[in-house]
Amino acid sequence: MMKLTGAEIVVECLKEQGVDTVFGYPGGTILNIYDALYKHSDEIHHILTSHEQGASHAADGYARATGKVGVCLATSGPGATNLVTGIATAQMDSVPMVAITANVAVDLLGRDTFQEVDIAGVVMPITKHSFIVKDVTQLADTLRRAFRIAIEGRPGPVLVDITKDVTAVETEYTPQKPAPVLPKVNTIKEADIENAVKLIERSKRPFIFVGGGVVISGASEELREFVEKVDAPVADTLMGKGAYPGEDARYTGMVGMHGTKTSNLGITKSDLLITIGARFSDRVTGNTKRFARDAKILHIDVDAAEINKNVKTEASVIGDAKAVLKILNDRLTKQDHHEWVAEIEEMKEKHPLTYDHEMLTGPFVVETLYKLTGGDAIVTTDVGQHQMWAAQFYKYKKPRTFITSGGLGTMGYGLGAAMGAKTGCPDVPVFNIAGDGCFRMNMNEVATAARYNIPVIEIVINNHVLGMVRQWQTLFYGKRYSSTIIQDKVDFVKVAEAMGAKGIRVTKKEEVEPAIKEAMAAGGPVVIDVQIDCDDKVFPMVAPGGAIAEAFNQEDLDKKEGN
């Protein structure tokens, strides 16, 4: 036992939890904590981002890449509110993150004091839990609870707001080793397992559909064994990429609005949809009344609230995906669905992903990146067309190698996430694939990457428009391009160089490979500005309100117009 200030207790609790890196931005109310961090800079590395939002995305990317809790810090008022988008991003995608903010002193709360915001109240709907600490004797236990809540069960962000006076006063502190956080298994019921086994063994056309829960639970090996046992094709969500190897013959690609025709048609024709760690998002299901209508749905998820929330299920097993799959693998006899698997294989041959090979396009850039990395890289993305191309045309071999904002769809997410991922996994190449609209939102973080020499490679798919919104305007709004054209004089190569990074411009197909090779050899942050056509589109696509079986591509549109 020892006497420490609240600020010193924060640092000691971070060390207890095994935190080696934090991302943040100092200010008046959090100065005591930063002063304590200064004294422990050899144990906890602090990365000063250009903006608090960048810190929250970096903590998120660190958490997704490593599986550990990501930590970000901000001062009160605007510092704290600048974390909100990153906190909401982490909440939607079940990312374990602890955001530590400081507030004005207890006697100044509720008085509209300078830089006072009730941040614990603001983030209540977008966190697993939020705390405000007004008593230093409660501080250590609150921080310990925050880390446990963030990682336990279905992960998510937790915010701890600490008043400035609490960071200054002393109290007794006793070090404590964190208790191990065990997988959630007490909810797995024998009757549910028996029901699941019966459904699987009676099925003739099973389809396995995996989401981010498989990645979070570390269930990839169990999933591979399960797929072999069931003898079924496998599709994934955006968040589930890498849970099952994208190079495997059974893999059919992503499901949903920009999923492959094979995945969408296969699910529609299946008689049993085995869904593991996915929440049936609207972007996955399309019209829910017409989603997998001929299939019974078996839903395996750690969160009971997800069962029957969006889609009615026949049966469910609630619990950690890894634990559930282990039990099912032990119980199941080897199934044989060779005719169904052959039918799916025919679909894959009939409906491959395609793009225009004559032009410099987003898919060509992504395929070239895959060829040069062999799939051994971490790919982060921003949100839009480039994100879908990164999901479609890069084959993810392992979990935690595709990092993207799925649920919230946060433009400006990718560069901060890439810095966090690279900090957590320094020996793995990290690429952020962005659009020019997204890059503009948080490109100030290039300066952060340059300051710390974090060798992330930013590939900007630059079409001088807000590409995904323009695609919708083209298809559904009569080509009325309201506020989506960004034809201006911003030069991303000069911007990169001005912030201390290397800049490379690409305007032809033959320049893509040399540019990526040059960036990989640079040893520091690089921005590659790839200029593509403004009307390059993401296909297949499901129209809003449509069934996923009605996915269409340019060829389908041409036929329709020809008729």
- Return the active site residues: 52, 114-115, 164, 468
In this structure, what token pair is assigned to residue 468?
């995904």
Q: 8 phi and psi, to 5 degrees?
A: -70, -35
Residue among 545, 541, 544 nearest 556 (CA): 541
Residue 148 DSSP SS3:
helix
Helix (H, G, I), strand (E, B) or coil at 169: coil
> Which spans in 101-234 are helix H?
119-122, 139-151, 164-168, 190-202, 212-216, 220-230
CA quadruple 77, 406, 58, 116: dihedral, nearest 10: 10
**Other Cβ atoms closer than 10 A to 358:** 8
What is the pairing mode between strands 2-5 and 170-173? antiparallel
The whole-angstrom separation of Cα 435 and Cα 366 is 13
Give bridge partners of residue 300 from the DSSP assignment: 276, 317
Residue pair 89/235 in contact (Cβ under 8 Å)? The answer is no
Q: Which of 237, 275, 384, 303 is nearest to 91 (CA)?
A: 303
From its phi and psi, is residue 393 left (phi > 0), alpha (psi between -120 and 50) or beta?
alpha
Reported residue count of the chain is 563
Q: Which two tokens stand for residue 9?
A: 């207790």
Q: Are 147 and 17 in contact (CB under 8 A)?
A: yes
Whole-angstrom distance, CA of residue 46 vs CA of residue 227? 42
Instruction: Write down the residue that tokens 């995305």 correspond to.
Output: 57
Beta strands in 61-113 (DSSP E): 70-74, 97-103
